[in-house]
């Protein structure tokens, strides 16, 4: 089948008409888009402004909640005496071991205003923690090793010599061995011979807040942390809307300038 010149002309004409029609449609759509650009940008600007205001209010509400939780924490610390140790709590403490034992004690010291500092290397010279306490008059540092009831057998001459090396390395005079286990009198004597302090269950119950106090504190601390995250998320949304508004204002300025030139 051969295509003659007339067919080619007809086909070319059809393509030209379709192409011209498509061009006209494109121009019309472009004109409509440009006509709607400024109202669309203004609509976006209004939307982002409202969202920004909403997130500012929400961030403020979380900020107020944080202050309220801080007050609750301070109030709780003033009521330590209202949370005495019970026999069941003491028995539970005696059975603590490993990370639970260490976490309870570290958190309790933090509640009491101590800063928790890790040694340079994990378990270096048997050191679990270095406690730092600072007030108006002085700064105290204390080397601490937590020895649960399953580990009391490790306390021997070599163990005490290692703690002494840690004491010398960090130039810290105070060393506490804290345990919920029972020690032989001979071991206790060796500990005191090295001028270390021993805090056993009896001392802990006398000196530190009870488990119920700890649980109340942990609950408030968890609420504080969760509220902090939400507050940051709201604040981040405010910053994000500010960036979007800057972009919209820039495009709005360009669109108005272009419209004024065309008119």
CATH of the domain at 126: 3.40.1350.10
Q: Tens digit of pLDDT for each residue in 50-83? A: 999 999 999 999 999 999 999 999 899 888 888 8
Structure tokens belonging to residue 262? 């065309």
Residues 124 and 21 in one domain: no
Structure tokens belonging to residue 152? 């009391």
pLDDT at 135: 83
pLDDT at 62: 96
Hey, how many other C-beta atoms are within 10 angstroms of the C-beta on 12? 10
Q: Kindly write down the DSSP assignment for every residue of 153-219, as one continuous string.
A: GG-SHHHHHHHHHHHHHTT--EEEEEESS---HHHHHHHHHTT-EEE-HHHHHHHS--HHHHHHHHH
Domain annotation covers residue 63: yes
Burial class (CB in 10 A: 0-12, 13-18, 19+), 72: middle
Q: Domain range spanning residue 155?
A: 84-208
Structure tokens belonging to residue 198? 């021993």
pLDDT at 142: 96
Residues 256 and 153 in one domain: no
Domain annotation covers residue 214: no
Torsion angle, alpha carbons of 197, 199, 203, 209, to 10: 120
Residues 131 and 60 in one domain: no
> Total domain count for the chain?
2
Domain annotation covers residue 236: yes
Tell me the C-alpha distance between 181 and 147, whole Å.
8
Residues 48 and 102 in one domain: no
Angle at 204 between CA 202 and CA 209, to 5 degrees: 130
Tell me the C-alpha distance between 10 and 3, whole Å.
11
Q: Map residue 1 onto helix, strand or coil.
A: coil
Angle at 155 between CA 150 and CA 161, to 5 degrees: 150
pLDDT at 35: 56
Q: Map residue 130 onto helix, strand or coil.
A: strand
Residues 187 and 257 in one domain: no
The dihedral region occupied by 148, where left means phi > 0, alpha psi between -120 and 50, and beta the remainder, is beta
Tell me the C-alpha distance between 211 and 85, whole Å.
7
Hey, how many other C-beta atoms are within 10 angstroms of the C-beta on 54? 14
Burial class (CB in 10 A: 0-12, 13-18, 19+), 149: middle
Domain annotation covers residue 198: yes
pLDDT at 4: 62
Q: Map residue 99 onto helix, strand or coil.
A: helix
Q: Map residue 199 onto helix, strand or coil.
A: strand
Q: Map residue 132 onto helix, strand or coil.
A: strand
Residues 29 and 65 in one domain: yes
Question: What residues of the chain score a pLDDT lower than 50?
Answer: none
CB 94 within 8 A of CB 152: no
Cα–Cα distances in Å, from 81 out to 78, 84, 105, 110?
Answer: 8, 6, 18, 18
- Is 0.75 topped by the overall pTM? no
Domain annotation covers residue 220: no
Burial class (CB in 10 A: 0-12, 13-18, 19+), 51: middle
């Amino acid at each position: 089948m051969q295509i003659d010149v007339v067919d080619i002309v007809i086909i070319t004409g059809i393509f030209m008409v379709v192409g011209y029609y498509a061009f006209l449609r494109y121009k019309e759509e472009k004109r409509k888009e440009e006509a709607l650009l400024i109202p669309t940008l203004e609509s976006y600007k209004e939307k982002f402004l409202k969202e920004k205001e909403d997130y500012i209010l929400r961030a403020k509400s979380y900020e107020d909640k944080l202050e309220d939780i801080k007050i609750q924490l301070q109030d709780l610390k003033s009521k330590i005496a209202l949370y005495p140790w019970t026999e069941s709590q003491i028995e539970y403490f005696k059975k603590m071991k490993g990370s639970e034992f260490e976490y309870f004690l570290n958190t309790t010291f933090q509640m009491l205003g101590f800063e928790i500092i890790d040694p340079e290397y994990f378990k270096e010279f048997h050191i679990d923690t270095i406690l730092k306490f600072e007030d108006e008059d002085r700064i105290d540092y204390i080397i601490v090793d937590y020895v649960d009831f399953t580990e009391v057998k490790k306390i021997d001459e070599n163990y005490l010599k290692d703690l002494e090396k840690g004491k010398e390395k960090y130039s810290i005079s105070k060393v506490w061995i804290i345990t919920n286990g029972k020690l032989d009198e001979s071991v206790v004597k060796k500990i005191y011979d090295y001028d270390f302090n021993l805090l056993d269950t009896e001392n802990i119950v006398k000196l530190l807040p009870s488990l119920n106090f700890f649980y109340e504190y942990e609950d408030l601390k968890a609420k504080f942390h969760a509220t902090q995250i939400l507050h940051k998320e709201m604040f981040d949304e405010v910053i994000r809307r500010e960036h979007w508004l800057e972009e919209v204002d820039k495009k709005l300025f360009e669109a108005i300038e272009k419209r004024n030139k065309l008119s």
